[in-house]
A and B are shown apart, each in its own frame.
Chain A
Amino acid sequence: MTTSSNLVWLIALPLICSALLLLAGKRANAWGHLVATAVSASAFAIGVVELFAMLGRDVQDRPVTQKVFTWISVGDFKVDASLLLDQLSICFVLLITGVGTLIHIYSIAYMSHDRDRRRFFAYLNLFIAAMLLLVLGDSYLNLYVGWEGVGLASYLLIGFWNEKPAYATAAKKAFIANRVGDVGLSLAIMIAFATFGDVTFKGIQAQADQASSSAMTAIGLMLLLAAVGKSAQFPLQAWLGDAMAGPTPVSALIHAATMVTAGVYLITRSNFIFDAAPTAQLVVIIIGVITLLFGAVIGMAKDDIKKALAASTMSQIGYMILATGLGPIGYAFAIMHLLTHGFFKASMFLGAGSVMHGMKDEVNMRKYGGIGKFMPFTFITFGLGYLAIIGVPPFSGFYSKDKIIETAFNAGGLKGVLLGVATLFGATLTAFYMTRVVIMTFFGNERWGHKDEPHESPALMLIPISLLSIGSVASGFLLYRNHALEYWLKPIVNPAGEQHLEELVQPIVVSALAVTAVIIGVSIAIKKYRGEISSEAPVKVNLLTKAARRDLYQDDFNESVFMRPGQSVVKSLLNFDYKVLDGLVRLVGGISIGAGQSLRKFQNGYVRSYALMMVVGVLALLITVWLMSS
């Protein structure tokens, strides 16, 4: 296998830069953001160089490894901190560093008025380093380090404006929800180690066919728990909406394009485990379907533009998870959708940021309206992202989503039909809520009241948006053409060369169905939001809307099922601790103190009282003698 000494720099550069920015303090205020951006760009350059090097090699020689150092060496157990760059990782490396660099550039302008811009860039670089470690680790343990690192970076960035208690709470919520998933990942690693005695991907893959299916299912389900936590899937999705408390570039980079897709990466990377565990795969599919509909329903009711986009992210990742559950065929399409989604969702988030920039940080879409003519450039780029996400040909989302719908139909039998219909329905909902977002933001009556007219954002923000828009327009076709991504990833995710089971539904029919679904969704939305839109959210709405506005009662569910019983358990434990345990301790202490106080009276310092004690002792001796002799 080819080795390379460049890989470590991918991680080390942003990590060193992050440390530098944090340690240098105010001195780095003037140039910190520039260095951070340059570092991110150079990481992208390394990625491009590696991509071309990889293209120049034969298929079997393409993966590149680098052993950085021996991390753990205990008897037979040995873990190296080594990196693996293969066809799958390179996709992520380019996405992370490419989108990351654009968002760095965007942030220079977006955060220019923030006192803590330097700290922001330090965290961004920390995130880049951790995310690269996540995708480059050659074992689950290395991946775990990156996994925790991105969790930390996400926490720091969501709570970046932690002077607002709500934002700090949102950061904590995200962190805690992620911890639940992290427990799953650590359990998965432990089970894997117990089963295989190895934690590297390569080592486990080599032994995958020898393991029992129950062990595989256990590992698979635990990995899925990890993915569910990190990717905001049902039932751990509640944190993503609140995570929008972070600055918009963070939402674009971490909570749309890269970190939340780490779950998809994890499942794809562990394809050899899931392929051997059909039960786990089925659960993956179910989670994916639930989340894609769940997110879409929430997205339909949200008036906060960032939360609507977050719900959309959740739904789109649901598509990806669903695809990964569909086996070797699905992985490539999941990754394809992940990449295109990375482009168009980042572009739309940055567009939303641009709108907020022009609207004095207003996020409520009911206070927008008719912005299109004031911010034409933002409107056009956002529109391109919109066309991509709803799946209008030939924009990128069409290709990637279409393939997922097709794969779903081809899952076979009733399952295939159900999944296909669900994905089509999801596409309709997506079309509806995204059209709603666009209409409420860029068309219709102006509802921002007495505020100043919105203004277009500076060029430094528009350039990254436009580059991402190009990606969201073209990436789908480029990746789809000649099965480019499918073949590229084949050695990793589909080594057996599996094909579609049966061509149940012709691709052209699927495309027609998908486009029809989109047209239905768009037209319903246009019909509903054509007229005047109230600047206040209507109160008399149906139950589903009410539920969706409250994130389908996810928070209420968590509160009533986990929080309140947890609190009462803690309270009772606290009471127990205070009353019983502390009571016992205090009792023991009281007894000692009391005994000490009473014994202290004997130690009064007077020689005569000590002599008296001797006399009493003699008396006791004599009594003993008396009793023994009688």
Chain B
Amino acid sequence: MSIANYLYLSAILFTIGAVGVVVRRNAIVVFMCIELMLNAANLAFVTFARINGNLDGQVVAFFTMVVAACEVVVGLAIIVTIYRSRRSASVDDASLLKR
């Protein structure tokens, strides 16, 4: 089996995550889809590390995880705040820019 298959898998998961971000309306699900995209990228990094024979890719993947954790923390806090004031977690309800 070619190692490139990991990369194909990564591309597919990334695409599915992107669709999820666009299609789903629940803010938490949207967030989870973003996590999926980040994970897909991580898989590609790990695979690259293996191909290149050094650990740089793994280091970047590690950092990505930390950044993703930060993002989740802040993002979820924002969702909670919005929910508290608007009683809704749907991203479509926060469309005040329209008017």
Contact residues of A with B, CB < 8 Å? 603-608, 611-612, 615, 618
Contacts and interface: CB of A to CB of B under 8 A. Distances in A.
25 contacts: A603-B97, A603-B98, A604-B95, A604-B98, A605-B95, A605-B96, A605-B97, A605-B98, A605-B99, A606-B92, A606-B95, A606-B98, A607-B91, A607-B94, A607-B95, A608-B21, A608-B22, A608-B23, A608-B30, A608-B91, A611-B21, A611-B22, A615-B18, A615-B21, A618-B18
A618 B30 CA distance: 18
B98 A608 contact: no
Contacts, number: 31
B25 interface: yes
Sorting the interface of chain B by its residue count into under 10, 10 to 19, 20 to 34 or 35 or more gives 10 to 19
B11 to A, nearest CB: 11
A608 B18 contact: no
B91 A606 contact: yes
Given A606-B98, A608-B21, 4 more contacts: A605-B96, A606-B92, A608-B22, A608-B92
**Do most interface residues of chain A lie in helix, strand or loop, or is the interface mixed?**
helix
Contact of B25 (A604, A608, A615): A608
Nearest to B15: A615
Interface string B20-32: 0111010000100
Considering residues B23, B25, B95, B99, which has the most beta carbons from chain A within 10 angstroms of its beta carbon?
B95
A615 B23 CA distance: 12
A611 B99 CA distance: 19
A150 to B, nearest CB: 64
A622 to B, nearest CB: 11
Contacts of A611: 21-22
A612 B30 CA distance: 13
A606 B97 CA distance: 8
A117 to B, nearest CB: 64
A612 B92 CA distance: 14
Nearest to B21: A611
Contacts of B94: 607
A560 B92 CA distance: 72
Interface in B15-65: 18, 21-23, 25, 30
Contacts of A605: 95-99
B22 A612 contact: yes
B25 to A, nearest CB: 7
Contacts of A612: 22
Contacts of B92: 606-608
B24 to A, nearest CB: 8
A603 B96 CA distance: 11
B9 to A, nearest CB: 18
Nearest to A607: B91
Contacts of B98: 603-606
Closest 9 CB pairs of A and B: A605-B98, A605-B95, A605-B97, A612-B22, A607-B91, A611-B22, A606-B95, A611-B21, A615-B18
A612 B24 CA distance: 12
Contacts of A606: 91-92, 95, 98
A615 B22 contact: yes
A605 B91 CA distance: 10
Contacts of A603: 97-98
A3 B95 CA distance: 84
B12 to A, nearest CB: 15
Nearest to A600: B98
Nearest to B98: A605
A619 to B, nearest CB: 10
A222 B99 CA distance: 66
B21 to A, nearest CB: 5
Nearest to B18: A615
Considering residues B22, B96, B97, B99, which has the most beta carbons from chain A within 10 angstroms of its beta carbon?
B22
A606 to B, nearest CB: 5
A519 to B, nearest CB: 97
Nearest to B95: A605
B90 to A, nearest CB: 10
A615 to B, nearest CB: 5
A607 B34 CA distance: 14
Contacts of B18: 615, 618
Contacts of B22: 608, 611-612, 615
Contacts of B96: 605
A540 B22 CA distance: 96
B86 to A, nearest CB: 14
B42 to A, nearest CB: 18
A130 to B, nearest CB: 63
Nearest to B33: A611
A618 B37 CA distance: 14
B99 to A, nearest CB: 7
Interface string B73-99: 000000000000000000110111111
Nearest to B97: A605
A612 B18 CA distance: 9
B71 to A, nearest CB: 15
A606 B96 CA distance: 9
